[in-house]
Structure 1
Amino acid sequence: MKSIYESSVKGIRNVKLTNPIKSVGLMLFLIIFCAILICVLGVGLFSYSTSKSIIKDKVAESSSVALAQSNGKLELMFKNYEALSMQILLDKNVQDMLIAYHKATDDYDKFDLMKKLSDTIQSYILGNQTIVGAAILPINGKSNAVTIGSTNITSEDASKADWFQSVVDGQGRLVWLPSKAKGYSDKGTEPTFAMGRVMKNTVNNEGNFIMLVEIKLHEIGNQLDDLKLGEGSEALILDAKNNVIYSSDEAQLGQPSPIAISEEQLKKSAGSMTTSDSDGDEVLAMYNKFETTGWNMLGTVPVKELVKDAKQIRNATYIMAGIAALLAIGIGLLVIRMVAIPLVRLRNLMNEGERGNLTVRSTLNKKDEIGQLAQSFNQMMAQITVLVTQTNQSAQDVLVTAGELSDASKKTAISAKEIAVATEEIANGATSLAVEAEKGSDLTSEIGQQMQQVTSANQEMGVAASEMEKASQQGTVYMGTLIEKTGLTEEMTRSMVEKVDKLKESTGSIRKILDVLNNITKQTNILSLNATIEAARAGTAGKGFMVVADEIRKLADQSRQSIDVVGQITEAIQKEIDETVNVLSNAYPIFQEQIQSVKEANQIFLTVQGQMGEFVGRLGSVTTSIGTLERSQVVLSEAMGNVSAVAEESSATSQEVASLSNEQTNISEGLVRLSDKLETVSTGLKETLSRFRT
């Protein structure tokens, strides 16, 4: 560590720091120093705080147990005193004397009864060393108080005290009274607390007296002698109003508690809390409530006494923080030596390079990033040296070139004058060419107008031919449709002829059927005639059969008549069918001729359509040729226009070149001046680069 410190200090002395606050090494040193110190202090103080909290919790738990045990002992003591008061009150002699006193009218009898009552009570408390004395106090204040033992109090003084009314309001219940530094007679030599209750008889439950029993306050201290909560601890007993009933310091008796307990906490039977006492010191307070008296037992322990052992952790933390600070200083110095000092050296070398010293080089041989930076710096300086050398050489070359440029500029000025003369001659020739080009352009324009008229006429013929071709195509379509419809008509006529022939055959079949029916009718008439003859032979028995035969004959006549009518109708249908057949037979050849004519017309339309297509194609070729010729004319016209424009532009350009040649002469003279100036600048550049030492 010592060697690192000495080398770091030596390295710092060898470098020049412009602003230490902005130094990377100092910043790294502060970061490392603060980080280590904060971590150590954070861990140590957190450990101290945690141990302090654990100690407080454990002490509170153990102290609460000890406090509960002492509470139990005092609770037993209070119950014994309460039992003693009940024993006195329920004593048969006491009750008899109370009843007799209530009935007595003579003052002497009352005095005698009070004397016996005091003797009886004295017999109960005489052997109890913890009881200072007792007093029997009249409630109405008309008689004198009877005192027992060291208690010396008058009925007049008692009736004026606050505790007196609280006992009366108790209606016979035992009331625990607060402690008094000099007893209830205010003339005692030691502090006492008391219990009081109204003495009621069991006959009419009336009470005329209050029994007050004073108890030594030190008895509570004797019960709390074995209560050890810790060094600097204190045990207090508080009443319901948070006033001190018992304390080892008699000056606190009757005073408000140094530790305030809220009403919510007073409602609980036990608990603990961390608070501050009247002096502002932090204390750990435990409280436990007495069931008998309603008082609270409060134990306090100074937190600083509890955690005094935990302070060793805090002290150790500060020691470790000091060691960590030294370690951080060592690490910081090491970082300064390894990082800051090499960076400052590189900075100083760069400052030397900035002042023109290109011979500086870093001697660092480290393998880390700083060493790589040093190598890069050396390479950069080497490249800059080469660059400056090359620039110096270039300046020398520029100086030489400036002289050559001056000579070339003078030659250029002479050539520019000769170019100006030649350019004027070219301008005159270009003017003549422009005049001839304008004449050719006019002729080309006239040819173009004639070509436009031919092109328009050819386009109109093409449109007409196209319309004629479309009409031929439409006629061909219509003829195809007509052929299809004529073919359908032919097929329908042929079908009709076939159906009429079949109808004719059917009519012949009907005729045959009518002949058969006519024969049947004739045979029926013959049968009817035979039946009539046979019926006439039979005489009377054949009359019925004759009637039947007559009906059959009539029926046969009607059938014959119907057959005749049907035959007439059939003959008429036969005649119409024959006429229809004849008409269809005559029409069929006409339909065939019509179909043939339509087909021939269709062929004619197809021929016309083909010829029109060829005509349109030829018109298209002609149009294409005319278009080509027109484009050639346009190109020729543009070429003539371009020639004219070029001739005019050449004339103008030649004139401009002539003027520019004059300007070039002036520029050449300016180049001579610039060459002289370039030579001067090159000399200055050489002098500027000479300040770099390579």
Structure 2
Amino acid sequence: MKWLTKTRTGTGSEDRKASGNSMYAAALNGVRGIKISNPVKSVGVKLFLIIFSAILVCVLIVGLFSYSTSKSIIKEKVTESGTVALSQSQGKLDLMFKNYEDLTLQIMLDKNIQDNISMMQASGDSYQQFVASKKLSDALQVYVLGNTSLANASIIPIKGTIGISVGGSAVSIEDAQKSDWMKQIVDAGGKVVWLPTKSHGLSSASPGPTFALGRVLKNANTNKGDYILLVEVYLQQISDQLADVSLGSGSEIMIVDDANNLVYSKDVAQLEKPLSIKLPTSDSSVTHGSLQAVSPGGSDLLVMYDQFDRMDWRIVGTVPVQSLVQDAAKIRNLTWIIAAIAALLAIGIGLLVIRMVAIPLVRLCNLMNEAAQGNLSVRSKVKSRDEIGQLSESFNQMMAQITALVTQTSRTAQEVLHTATELTDASKKTAGSAREIAVATEEIANGATSLAVEAEKGSDLTTEIGEQMQQVMSANRQMGAAASEVESASQQGTAYMNTLIEKTGQTEEMTRSMVEKVDLLKESTRSIRKILDVLNNISKQTNILSLNATIEAARAGAAGKGFMVVADEIRKLADQSRQSIDVVGQITETIQKEIDETVSVLSTAYPIFQQQIQSVKEANQIFLKVQGQMSEFVERLDSVTDSIGVLDRSQGVLSEAMSNVSAVAEEASATSEEVASLSNEQTNISEGLVKLSDKLESVSTELKETLSRFRTE
């Protein structure tokens, strides 16, 4: 059979259907007298497939549902236990982070460190600053050298060049002051800022990866912070805390910062790189949870995360789903085995149904096909007592009645055929005459109709052109009004620009005058400085004279005591004068600096004013050019408006002419259509009569041919 040799490349259900057809055909091949025209549509195949699919689907549904349920339960339990483990690890790490924060607070509040920082800030002597920095380094070593978890600790000036570093390689002061992380620490205003892991430390010279924390080092008395405290910690401390934590086979624990970059991972090469798994944003209200993701290798992962209390970092744990459901896979494998057994059982039941139901039905179907081809002598030999036996007996009775009916119908068809032939000849003659009249009338009507249609189209087109002309005229008027407004605005802008040029010139004169006056004030300040130098010298000479007078009074003995008192008062007065002169000198120096800054600002501003004047003049020229162009545009719009008016009047005349042509064409078309309608009605009647005659003759012929195919013997 040809249907067994075709290659099937469809879905799994089509393959199973083809397999069922093959089994069904093989079962029938052993029965003589059985012919199968299309086994796919056979009742036996359908019953076989229903039984086979019902048993197999039930087994698969139960097994796969059990596998899916056990898989979900395992995931939930692992998620719960993993979340608890991550929470405990997060608590341990939070405690470690708190210890480092407490260490920075202890360093900041240390009295020796505070005193030495104050000394470095107050002293202008390089030697004293060196001594203070040495003491500050010794005080900082007390906290660092005994702690092996710290890579280094540094006190870095926010502005300046003198800093302290204790421990391993430290970042340079210049690099630190240019870095973004130092700006974050300064902007935090004294709060601790945690810096993500660097593979070779902030200095890029550390022997291992480190993370850091920093805060502004404020003065305990003034609450002013000119330094920051930076502490770098080896990443190994986190590794030690997480060494005994495991979420399952193939699991991995990582720490990411608020930008989702890796702060900690067992694979050091992945540090500072983005985590391949997308977590919820750190600013959301959800601080912990779990989700499912796909690894870069394409395997499914169960992901759990928890956020630290002291920073925006999060601890993340991943477990491969494949390792979790290894035990559940046994249920799936057992399901496939049971499904195979059920498939064999279903095949056996299907073959039994084929023997009991399908084979008798196929025999009866073959007899019906033979009867349909004209052999009315066929009879069924099935004698069973079930519904199929009753169907066989009814088939035999039906064939006997059809045989009698065909014999009687054959005689009647011969008489009808003779009558139909005579009626056809008469109808054809009448239809020929009516058709010739209808054709001539229809040609006249078609010509009149075409003329009316074309006239109507011309009228509609002229009407549409008129509407478009009105829209063009309206738009032209609006463009003219808009152009007038633009021209008026250009004139107003030109006036404003002239006023602005005058004001800018006055501003330039005032700036130039201010520069000259500040220069004079600067010269006056220099004169005051010279006078203060003279007064300072006078104060020193007065002090020396008072000292000499005291010496001479001491030599004079009792006679010089009164003079000694006067000399002492003169010395005090000289000291007070010197102090006052120093204060005035400091004030004068401050004024001198402010005057220099004012001169610098005015010198910078003066060229800018000159550029502004030039730009304003150029803008004024642009406004003048726009005003001239808009005047020309308004004149051209007036010319276009006149041309459109002439075109509108011409279109009105054309529209009236097309309306007259359309009316005449419609009257001619209506008259022609009335005549054509009458001719068509006569033609239709004649053609209908011919068709009825042809149909009667055709039916008679077909009936005769059909009855001739049946054999009653």
Q: TM-score, normalised by structure 1?
A: 0.52
The secondary structure found in structure 1 opposite 2:273 is coil
Question: Displacement of 1:208 after TM fit?
Answer: 2.3
1:136 paired residue number: 155
Q: 1 CA distance for matches of 2:125 and 2:389?
A: 124
| Distance in 1 of aligned mates of 2:223 and 2:406 | 132
**Helix, strand or coil: the match of 2:301?**
strand
Shift of 1:375: 4.6
**1:100 maps to which residue?**
119
Alignment of 1:515-594 (within 5 A): none
Could you tell me whether the CA contact under 8 Å between 2:253 and 2:265 is conserved in 1?
yes
The question of whether the paired residues in 2 share the 8 Å contact of 1:166 and 1:175 is answered with yes
SS of equivalent residue, structure 1 residue 255 = coil
In structure 2, how many angstroms separate the alpha carbons of the residues matched to 1:391 and 1:276? 76
In structure 2, the partner of 1:259 is 277
Alignment map for 1:8-407 (pairs within 5 Å) = 8-11=27-30, 14-143=33-162, 145-263=163-281, 266-350=284-368, 358=377, 360-365=379-384, 367-377=385-395
1:362–1:378: 8 Å Cα contact kept in structure 2?
A: no
CA drift of 1:156 comes to: 1.0
Tell me, in whole angstroms, the C-alpha distance in 2 between the residues paired with 1:239 and 1:293.
Answer: 9
Q: Is the 1:7–1:337 contact (alpha carbons within 8 Å) kept by the matching residues of 2?
A: no
Contact 2:155 / 2:230 at 8 angstroms: preserved in 1? yes
Contact 1:135 1:151 in 2 (8 A): no
User: How has the CA–CA distance of structure 1 residues 91 and 369 changed in structure 2, closer, same or farther, with 3 Å as cutoff?
Assistant: same
Deviation at 1:224, TM superposition (A): 1.0
Preserved CA contact (<8 Å) 2:307 2:313: yes
Q: Partner of 2:311: helix, strand, or coil?
A: coil
Q: How does 1:377-526 map to 2 (within 5 A)?
A: 377=395
Q: Is contact 1:151–1:214 with CA below 8 Å preserved after alignment?
A: no
For residues 312 and 104 of structure 1, the distance between their equivalents in structure 2, rounded to whole angstroms, comes to: 80
| Larger RCO: 1 or 2 (CA < 8 Å, sep 6+) | 1
SS in 1 for 2:201: coil
Distance apart, 1:49 and its partner CA: 2.8
SS in 2 for 1:287: strand
- Contact 1:134–1:151 (CA under 8 A) maintained in structure 2: no
Question: How far is 1:204 from its partner?
Answer: 0.8
Q: Deviations over 1:103-160 (max 9, x none)?
A: 22211221221122122221112222211121221111322x3221113321012112
Whole-angstrom CA distance in 1 between matches of 2:49 and 2:389: 24
3-state SS of 1:286 partner: strand
Name the CA shift for 1:125/1:20 in 2 (closer, same or farther; >3 Å): same
- What is the CA-CA distance between 1:335 and the residue it aligns to? 2.1
Aligned-partner SS, 1:242:
coil
Q: Which whole-Å CA distance do the structure 1 matches of 2:334 and 2:84 have between them?
A: 33
Task: Tell me which amino acid in the other structure corresponds to 1:185.
Answer: S
- Residues 517-573 of structure 1: CA deviation (Å, up to 9, x unaligned): xxxxxxxxxxxxxxxxxxxxxxxxxxxxxxxxxxxxxxxxxxxxxxxxxxxxxxxxx
Alignment CA distance shift 1:690-1:99 (3 Å):
closer
Structure 1: distance between partners of 2:185 and 2:31:
90
Structure number with bigger Rg:
1
Q: Report the AA paired with residue 264 of structure 2.
A: Y
Q: CA RMSD in A?
A: 3.5
AA in 1 matched with 2:211: F
SS in 1 for 2:166: strand
Does the CA contact (< 8 Å) of 1:357 and 1:692 recur in 2? Answer: yes
Note the C-alpha offset of 1:269.
2.3
- CA separation of 1:378 and 1:84: change in aligned 2, threshold 3 A: same
Q: Post-superposition shift, 1:64?
A: 0.5
* CA 1:100–1:362: 2 relative to 1, 3 Å: same
Aligned residue identity for 2:277: I
SS where residue 62 of structure 2 aligns?
helix
Q: Distance in 2 between matches of 1:339 and 1:28?
A: 9
Runs (4 or more) in structure 1 with deviation over 4 Å come to 4-7, 9-14, 349-361, 375-381, 688-693
AA partner of residue 218 (structure 2): K
| Contact 2:186 2:215 (8 Å CA) reproduced | yes
- Decide whether the 8 Å contact of 1:138 with 1:208 is kept in 2: yes
| Structure 1: distance between partners of 2:371 and 2:233 | 102
Q: Is the 8 A contact 2:191 2:216 kept in 1?
A: yes
- Asked if the contact 1:122/1:148 (under 8 Å) is kept, the reply is yes
Cα deviation digits, residues 580-636 of structure 1 (max 9, x gap):
xxxxxxxxxxxxxxxxxxxxxxxxxxxxxxxxxxxxxxxxxxxxxxxxxxxxxxxxx
Measure the CA separation in 2 of the matches of 1:41 and 1:373: 38
Which range moved further: 55-64 or 68-77? 55-64
- 1:182 Cα shift? 0.7
User: 1:14 and 1:329, CA in 2 relative to 1: closer, same or farther beyond 3 A?
Assistant: farther
- Indicate the SS of the match to 2:292: strand
Higher mean C-alpha deviation, range 336-345 or range 7-16: 7-16
Q: Quick one: structure 1 residues 370 and 212, their matched pair in 2 at CA, closer, same or farther if it must change by over 3 Å?
A: same
Contact persistence 2:190–2:218 (CA under 8 A): yes
Supply the distance in 1 between the matched residues of 2:348 and 2:386 (Cα, whole angstroms): 21
Which one-letter code corresponds to 1:147 in the other structure?
Answer: S
Change (3 A) 1:329 1:391: closer
SS of 2:232's partner is strand
In 2, are the aligned partners of 1:172 and 1:197 still within 8 Å (CA)?
yes
Counterpart-to-counterpart distance in 1, 2:170 and 2:193: 20
Q: What is the match of residue 658 of structure 2?
A: none
Deviations, residues 232-278 of structure 1 (Å, cap 9, x unaligned): 22211111222211111122211222111222774322111223344
Deviations 1:369-419 (A, max 9, x none): 2233345456667x679x97x999x9xxxxxxxxxxxxxxxxxxxxxxxxx
- SS of corresponding position for 2:305: strand
Distance 1:138 1:690 in 2: 117
TM-score norm. by structure 2 comes to: 0.50
Give the Cα–Cα distance (whole angstroms) in 2 for the partners of residues 267 and 351 of structure 1. Answer: 76
Which string of whole-angstrom CA distances, capped at 9 and with x for unpartnered residues, describes residues 626-680 of structure 1?
A: xxxxxxxxxxxxxxxxxxxxxxxxxxxxxxxxxxxxxxxxxxxxxxxxxxxxxxx
Go from structure 1 to structure 2 and tell me whether the alpha carbon gap of 1:265 and 1:148 turns closer, same or farther (over 3 Å shift). Answer: closer
**C-alpha distance in 2, partners of 1:391/1:260?**
82
Cα 1:353–1:138 change in 2 (3 A) is closer
CA shift, 1:347, in A, is 2.7
Cα gap change, 1:353 to 1:174, in 2 (>3 Å) = closer
1:268–1:352 CA distance, 2 compared to 1 (3 A): closer
3-state DSSP class of the match of 1:178?
strand
Distance 2:710 2:108 in 1: 129
Cα displacement string for residues 435-482 of structure 1 (whole angstroms, at most 9, x for unaligned residues): xxxxxxxxxxxxxxxxxxxxxxxxxxxxxxxxxxxxxxxxxxxxxxxx
CA gap 1:320/1:293 in 2 versus in 1, 3 angstroms? same
Could you tell me how far 1:54 is from its partner in structure 2?
A: 2.3
Shifted more, 248-257 versus 346-355: the winner is: 346-355
> Alpha carbons of 1:189 and 1:325: their partners in 2 closer, same or farther (altered >3 Å)?
same
Query: What runs of 5+ residues in structure 2 fail to find an aligned partner?
Result: 1-22, 409-707
Please give the secondary structure, in 2, of the residue aligned with 1:272.
strand
> Residues 160 and 182 from structure 1, CA distance in 2 versus in 1: closer, same or farther, beyond 3 angstroms?
same
Q: How many residues align?
A: 395
